[in-house]
Amino acid sequence: MKQKLALTLVSLLLFAGFISAQVTKDSIAILNNEKARLKIAVNINENKLKLADLENEKASRTVYMGKQNDESQRLADKNKDIADDLSTDPLDKSKAKKAGKSAKAAEHASKDARKASDKLDGLTKDIDELRKKITEDEQKLSILGGAVLNN
C-alpha cells in the first residue's frame, strides 16, 4: 500500500513537472513574442521622434535655401550691372577690379545656394527613408499582433 501511494505520488509529481515544463515553454514563446513587439514599438516611437526633428529642420533649411537663392540672384544682378558699367570703359582699372570682386562674390553666393539646395535634398531623402522604415515597422507590428498607434 505504501509503495502504491509512493508510486502514485511520484507519477503525479512527474506529470506535474511535465505540465509545468510545457506551460513554461508556452509562456516563454508568449514572452518572446511580446518582447519582439515591444522592440518594434520602441523603434517606431524613436523613428517618429527623429522624423519630427527632421521635418522641423527641413522647414528651417527651406527658409535658409530661399534666402541663399535670393542673395545669389541679387549678387548676380549686381555683377551684371557692374559688368555693364565696365563695358562702357574697359580700360578703367578700378571698374575692372570692382567687376572682378563682384563676380567672385556672385560665384560664392551661387555655390552657397547650391550647397543649401543639396542639403535640403539630402534631408528630404532621409525623411522619405525614415517614413518608409516606420511604415515597415508598423506592418511588422501588426503582423505580430501589436496595436499600431498613428500619431
Confidence check: pLDDT of 20 > 60 = no
Confidence check: pLDDT of 12 > 90 = no
User: What is the per-residue pLDDT across 31-85, written as a single tens digit (0 to 9) for each?
Assistant: 888 888 899 999 999 999 999 999 999 999 999 999 999 999 999 999 999 889 8
Dist. CA 29–CA 35, nearest whole Å: 10
In one-letter notation, the amino acid at residue 39 is K
* pTM, rounded to two decimals: 0.70
Task: Kindly give, in sequence order, each residue whose CB lies less than 8 Å from that of residue 64, ignoring residues fewer than 6 positions away.
Answer: 116
Q: What is the pLDDT averaged over residues 119-129?
A: 96
Direct distance between the N- and C-terminal alpha carbons of the chain, in angstroms, rounded to an integer: 69
Domain residue spans in the chain? 57-144
